[in-house]
């Protein structure tokens, strides 16, 4: 049976914009991109996120700079239930919000980009990338992955293109059932 996957992206709906989470003290992390790097993290302790721009509250958003996934309790429950081995959930307080929210850290990085089937793959120009991006893609249009290489994962990042937050169709359907999302889903499998 064919498995379908989706790239979860910032949606084109009115929504609040949250800044990259910091320590509860307001101190930023040495690696603010750590929540999008696709690795298991030690517990960072209490987190908070302030508004980069107020707007309509959504149950699933990405922070404004590093695109850290930030979700409500209902969305966190979907990840806990359908992808417990693929994510870490860290509580994050949002200024002015009493309800709990969570940072979603996808802990799997899978090498499954089907370069031949992608519409456009852009490489970094020689010497124009930070050393930590050596061998990674600058951007991909019409992203396609090989589902046979996903190793049973439900949620993951892509090797060489970690900006993409990928979920299975089961996760996508459960998230859409919650509604009030600030994200959209771009199918990356045929």
- Is pLDDT above 70 for 38? yes
Q: What percent of the chain has pLDDT over 90?
A: 86
Rg (CA), the chain: 16
| Whether 157 contacts 40, CB under 8 Å | no
| Whether 13 contacts 185, CB under 8 Å | no
Reported as a single tens digit per residue, the pLDDT across 71-95 is 999 999 999 999 999 999 999 999 8
Whole-angstrom CA distances from 173 to 82, 166, 178 are 11, 13, 9
* pLDDT at residue 163 in the model: 94
Three-state SS letters, the chain: CCCCEEEEEECCCCCCEECCCEECCCCCCCCCCHHHCCCCCCCCCCEEECEEECCCCCCEEECCCCCCEEEEHHHHHHHHHHCCCCEEEEEEEECCCCCCEEEEEECCEECCECHHHCCEEEECCCCCCCHHHCCCEEEEECCCECHHHCCCCCEEEECCEEEEEEEEHHHHHHHHHHCCCCEEEEECCC
Sign of the CA dihedral with 127 first, then 129, 130, and 133 last:
negative
CA 59 to chain centre: 14
Nearest Cα to Cα of residue 5 among 83, 81, 59? 83
- Is pLDDT above 90 for 132? no
Average of per-residue pLDDT across 12-25: 95
* pLDDT at residue 129 in the model: 64
- Is pLDDT above 60 for 1? no
Q: How sure is the predictor about 152, in pLDDT bands with cuts at 50, 70 and 90?
A: very high
Average of per-residue pLDDT across 95-118: 96
Q: Report the mean per-residue pLDDT for the chain.
A: 94
| Whether 104 contacts 71, CB under 8 Å | yes
């Amino acid at each position: 049976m064919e498995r379908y996957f989706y790239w979860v992206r910032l949606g084109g709906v009115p929504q609040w914009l949250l800044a990259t989470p910091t320590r509860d003290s307001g101190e930023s992390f040495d690696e603010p991109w750590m929540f999008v790097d696709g690795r298991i993290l030690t517990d960072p302790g209490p987190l908070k996120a302030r508004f980069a721009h107020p707007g309509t509250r959504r149950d699933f958003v990405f922070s404004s700079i590093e695109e850290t996934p930030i979700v409500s309790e209902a969305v966190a429950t979907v990840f806990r239930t359908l992808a417990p081995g693929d994510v870490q959930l860290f509580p994050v307080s949002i200024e002015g919000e009493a309800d709990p929210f969570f940072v979603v850290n996808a802990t799997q990085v899978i090498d499954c980009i089907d370069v031949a089937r992608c519409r456009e793959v852009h490489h970094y120009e020689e010497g124009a990338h930070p050393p930590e991006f050596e061998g990674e893609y600058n951007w991909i249009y019409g992203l396609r992955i090989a589902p046979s290489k996903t190793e049973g994962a439900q949620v993951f990042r892509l090797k060489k293109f970690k900006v993409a937050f990928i979920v299975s169709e089961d996760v996508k359907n459960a998230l859409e059932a919650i509604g009030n999302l600030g994200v959209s889903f771009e199918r990356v499998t045929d």
